Structure 1
Amino acid sequence: MAQANHNSPVALIVGVTGMAGVALTEALKKPTALGGPWKVYGVSRRLLPTWFPSSLLDKHITLDTLNMENTCKLLTPLATHITHVFWLAITVNESEELNISCNSKMLSNVLNTLTSAPNSTLCHVSLQTGTKHYMGPIYDSTLASQVIPHEAPFREDYPRLPFPNFYYDLEDIVASYPKSFTYSIHRSSIIIGASSRSIFNGLLTLSVYALVCKHGNYPFRFYGNKYTWEHFWDATDATVLAEQHIWASATEKAKNQAFNCTNGDVFTWKMLWRVLCDVFDVEFVPFEDKEIFNVAEFMKDKGQVWDRFVEENGLYKTKMEEITTFGAANATLKVDFQHVCSMNKSREFGFHGYADTLKSIAPWVERLRQMKILP
């Protein structure tokens, strides 16, 4: 196994502009970061947005990792420097089979390039997945109705569900290099953080919805079902997730293990809705079980409202469709099971990061405002 120069670890963050990427970049550059001081290289498909803390990156690489030729060309010269890969990248497609094909190719392209280079210094890969590991392909329209998720709280030692799931394939890929590097798996819940470039950004989706409701004097209705309104869920603060990635990369006991990563508390959507109402100054609307409310339908003609917000407030240029996921949100909040992970394994292995979910909402919204993503 390649032995890295631990005096100067070099992190390659693939997916650096997402919520977890922003938080991980900032966490690695703290003087107190475990295993540091770190050099940080960031990979994203597009150029860095103006809101990204680019001064914290030692190098930025614009790269679509689906392209094997470009991946090899740009990463081979760095293979004698990079000691740690933090895999936060994701591409989402309509079918889970396509998800498996694309995400597996991206990860394999990067790992094959780095490990096949002479004098490769790669010693650890930190892979981020999520709770779909325990729920199955819930966004695949042909499979979602067949899936029976595991019982909550979700535990890392639960067997895999008998359905295709690209998370399973990514885990198998990193485990297939036993002589090249160690790895860790990080299964996050709903991530709360700040970015306009994350595919699933629940907080930004909720924020845009609240702002549109306030602007148009619409009721800020909950778009899930009664079960979700009243039962327990958990979430993952992007800062806690970053801390766990770094902890596992620098802790021998955590190598070649999978860990859930949540804030360590639970909430009901009723509780969270009250917090959102306070943050955005909209009236709290109690849940009404009269009809199923389809937020995707409600929001589909509101793009021009968002365009005006962006223009009038001098915001970072985004389209509402790019930064929200109302279709996925609509589906996710209509499940009939509690979405809660066990954090016992993390605690037993020595990770004690946590956050108060309800208290974390306002600071992250404020961060989105400072970044000029929200008005």
Structure 2
Amino acid sequence: MVGVALAEAFKKPTALGGPWTVYGVSRRTLPPWFPSSFLDKYIMLDTLNKENTYEILSPLSTQITHVFWFALSVNESEELNVSLNSTMLSNVLTALTSSSSSKLCHVTLQTGTKQYMGPIFDSSLSSELVPHDAPFREEYPRVPFPNFYYALEDIVTSYQQSFTYSIHRASIIIGASARSYFNTLLSLSIYALVCKRENYPFRYVGNKYSWEHFWDVSDARVLAEQQIWASVTKQAKNQAFNCTNGDVFTWKTLWKVLCDVFDVEFVPFDENEKFDFVDFMKNKGDVWDAIVEENGLHKTKMEEVTCFSAIDVTLKLKIQHVCSMNKSRDFGFHGYANTLASIEPWVQRLRQMKILPKTW
């Protein structure tokens, strides 16, 4: 989601530090919905393969000046997350710093609010976690559990004699992609469309606490804007920043927006009514297949473009999921987005990309 927004932002004539030459790297071919005009060069590469990574990237070490890191390997075990994500980043940085004439001067690392909560998706550890108090602040100490965000930070900071860095801690990200593992908006959109097509009520999937208490999200465009700003701004170097829209909402209000966007009836949350969201959606793949076929959408499989289990865990937390943006503002970044007003435009973008159907 942020890779798409960042590549688009780089190509704007107003982009800080521009004009930019943009290299996009992925382990799969570019999807048909990705605008090729956003990239000057595309590289297909499995960064878990050390030899192949070195062979392909080391010749570019005299050209690449900035790395923006969004790569993600998601596994049930946080220890495995630490191992695989660390390997990918280490292989890339080794390849790009191997030459004495390396031009790499800044690395941008995107992480998230697990920084303040711990590995909430690792079922063997999640029951032991005690998250920090909201609003989350950058100076909070690390939670004493394995976390691949910490491992990636340590890798990047170990190179500080070679290049500067910035770390960007996102909340739930809102953007347009069918290749992002934690794509909450696309997942909820598919849920709404399945409910609409099959005449099911569009029930809230979290608990009463998240329904009523404050949350925040990160618009992919705000993340892209902050990351470019930090990469070219002296006072932002070697710093970690939260990056959210700068406002808060309740899921009750956002759910009403989703109902309006997809023209489904708003169903008030009833804590006495048991609803297993993951179980409800696990056999709805054929319904999504029919929606894709009937509307001429790009071929996607529901299990590959949704994150129902992650949403189920996240929206059943009993915390106010809110980050402080004070540090970012103090350092000079004032980007923001109106969360409730941004939902429909992002859904429209997904429709234009033929990932979601037009209104029906």
**Equivalent position SS for 1:220:** coil
Aligned positions of 1:340-359 closer than 5 A = 340-359=322-341
Determine whether 1:178 maps to 2:178: no
> 1:223 maps to what in 2?
205
How many pairs are equivalent?
357
Distance in structure 1 (CA, Å) of the matches to 2:278 and 2:248: 26
Determine whether 1:61 maps to 2:20: no
Q: Deviations over 1:310-352 (max 9, x none)?
A: 1111111110000001111111100101000000000000000
The one of 119, 126, 138 aligned to 1:156: 138
> 1:124 maps to what in 2?
106
Determine whether 1:367 maps to 2:349: yes
Q: Which runs of 4+ in 1 moved over 2 A?
A: none
Distance in structure 2 (CA, Å) of the matches to 1:162 and 1:32: 42
Distance in structure 2 (CA, Å) of the matches to 1:42 and 1:118: 24
Q: Deviations over 1:256-292 (max 9, x none)?
A: 0000000000000000000000000000000001134
Distance in structure 1 (CA, Å) of the matches to 2:60 and 2:41: 11
Determine whether 1:95 maps to 2:80: no
**Equivalent position SS for 2:97:** helix
TM-score by length of 1: 0.95
Determine whether 1:104 maps to 2:86: yes
AA aligned to 1:30 is: K
**Equivalent position SS for 1:153:** coil
Distance in structure 1 (CA, Å) of the matches to 2:19 and 2:317: 43
The one of 196, 201, 222 aligned to 2:183: 201
Q: Deviations over 1:180-202 (max 9, x none)?
A: 10000000000000000001000
Displacement of 1:117 after TM fit?
1.9
Gaps in structure 1 of 5+ consecutive residues:
1-18
Distance in structure 2 (CA, Å) of the matches to 1:178 and 1:311: 50
**Equivalent position SS for 2:240:** strand
Displacement of 1:176 after TM fit?
0.1
AA aligned to 1:54 is: S
Distance in structure 1 (CA, Å) of the matches to 2:326 and 2:112: 17
Distance in structure 2 (CA, Å) of the matches to 1:211 and 1:331: 22
Moved more, 154-163 or 287-296: 287-296
**Equivalent position SS for 1:275:** helix
Gaps in structure 2 of 5+ consecutive residues:
none
Distance in structure 1 (CA, Å) of the matches to 2:128 and 2:251: 25
Determine whether 1:301 maps to 2:283: yes
Displacement of 1:116 after TM fit?
1.1
**Equivalent position SS for 2:22:** strand
AA aligned to 1:32 is: T
Q: Is the 8 A contact 1:224 1:293 kept in 2?
A: no
Q: Root-mean-square deviation (CA), in Å?
A: 0.6
AA aligned to 2:229 is: W
AA aligned to 1:100 is: V
Distance in structure 1 (CA, Å) of the matches to 2:260 and 2:251: 14
TM-score by length of 2: 0.99
